[in-house]
Amino acid sequence: MAKTIIQMINIIKRYYIGQPNELQILNGISLDIHEGEFVSIVGASGSGKSTLMNMIGALDRPTEGEYFLDGTDISRLNDKQLSNIRNQKIGFVFQTFNLISRTNALKNVELPMMYAGVPRKERSRRAMELLELVGMKDRYTHQPNELSGGQKQRVAIARAMANDPAIILADEPTGALDTKTGHLVMNIFHKLHKQEGKTIVLITHSPELASETERIITISDGSVISDTLENTAENAGAENTEVSGE
């Protein structure tokens, strides 16, 4: 069995604690995700999927329970340590791309490395490598408003890879894209998974997208209701084509 990257034990998240409108979003979620897995977390709106994602991404701390990310107990870290974890262990890919405006593709990819204190030359060398990996090398001087949705998402994926994180956490990465472009982006994830051996956690409400992954975790009302392994060879094999420019 591969190394456990994410280990959640009985995670509970409550909001408005002690007030009349106290709200419990996560009702004791336990899950293990192993190195090299391509997992999707599926659930309808309001199922607690986003809260779980924030938790996995170290943007938020659980009210109760323990969360070990690559061996570190996240629930006991302060803000500064959480920042380090986000910087080093997690690569975010968002639905709305979230590139920094008025900043070119290269600088966007360099950003996590800048926060990590990587020297300038090394940073831009690595950023160019990553842009090449996602097929965006020719556009490195382009600003976000000069790129299409699919191109933006590819830059965002390159940025997520910048510090070689333990997991890539993708929140509806194809949600703002048309079907064809969405496929292209998904292919990059497959490529990262297959060729780079990345652990990828995909959060989506689409069962279709989830079916492309190795393992589907379904969330409803703050609890895991199913956790199934897919026949991976068939799905991934069919979709795994070479990435090319749009």
Partner 1 sequence: MSFFENIRMAFSSIAANKMRALLTMLGIIIGISAVITITTLGSTLRTTILRALSSMGGNSFLAYINEKEVEGLDDDDYYLTSEDMITLNMLRELEEQYPGEFKVAASTGSSSATVVNSEKQYINVQIQGVLNGYLDSFGLKLKAGRNITMADNEQNKHSAIVSDIFVRQYFRNGEEPIGQNIEVSFENGNPFEFTIVGVYKYSELKLNSFPAGTKEIDKVTPIYLPYNVINDMKAMPEEGFYNLQIFYDLSVENSVAYTQICDFFDEQYKENRMWNVYIYNIQDEVEIYDMIINILTIIFSVIAAISLIVGGVGVMNIMLVSVTERTREIGIRKALGAKRSTIKLQFLIEAIIICLIGGVIGILIGLLNSELVGVIANNIVSSNPDYSDLLGNISISPSVGAIVISIIFSTLTGVFFGLYPAGKAAKMDPIDALRYD
> How far apart are alpha carbons 26 and 7 in whole angstroms?
15
Length of the chain: 246
> How far is C-alpha 50 from the geometric centre of its chain's CA atoms?
12
Residues 6 or more apart whose CB falls under 8 angstroms from that of 217 comprise: 31, 39, 40, 41, 42, 224, 226, 227
In 3D, which of 84, 65, 87 has the Cα closest to residue 76?
65
Residue 63 binding partner 1, by CB under 8 A: no
Which member of 32, 60, 66, 221 binds partner 1 (CB under 8 A)? Answer: 60
In 3D, which of 126, 234, 243 has the Cα closest to residue 187?
243
Residue 57 binding partner 1, by CB under 8 A: yes
Residue 223 binding partner 1, by CB under 8 A: no
Q: Given the rule CB under 8 A, which of 10-18, 40-48, 76-84, 129-137 is the region that contacts partner 1?
A: 76-84
Residue 86 binding partner 1, by CB under 8 A: yes
> How far apart are alpha carbons 243 and 132 in whole angstroms?
11
Which member of 43, 62, 112, 222 binds partner 1 (CB under 8 A)? Answer: 112
Q: Which helix (H) or strand (E) holds 244?
A: none
Q: Given the rule CB under 8 A, which of 55-63, 174-182, 196-204, 226-234 is the region that contacts partner 1?
A: 55-63
Which member of 31, 115, 124, 142 binds partner 1 (CB under 8 A)? Answer: 115
> How far apart are alpha carbons 175 and 130 in whole angstroms?
23
Residue 84 binding partner 1, by CB under 8 A: yes
What is the token pair recorded at 51?
């809260």
| Residue tagged 């956690």 (tokens) | 201
By rule CB under 8 A, what string of x and - marks binding of each residue 7-46 to partner 1?
A: ----------------------------------------
Choice between 83 and 228, CB closer to partner 1: 83
Choice between 114 and 229, CB closer to partner 1: 114
Shortest distance in whole angstroms from residue 175 CB to partner 1: 14
Three-state DSSP class for residue 177: coil
Which member of 117, 121, 179, 234 binds partner 1 (CB under 8 A)? Answer: 117
Phi, psi of 61, rounded to the nearest 5 degrees? -110, 145
Three-state DSSP class for residue 121: helix
Interface residues toward partner 1, by CB under 8 A: 54, 57, 59-60, 79-80, 83-84, 86-88, 92, 94, 98-103, 111-112, 114-117, 159, 163
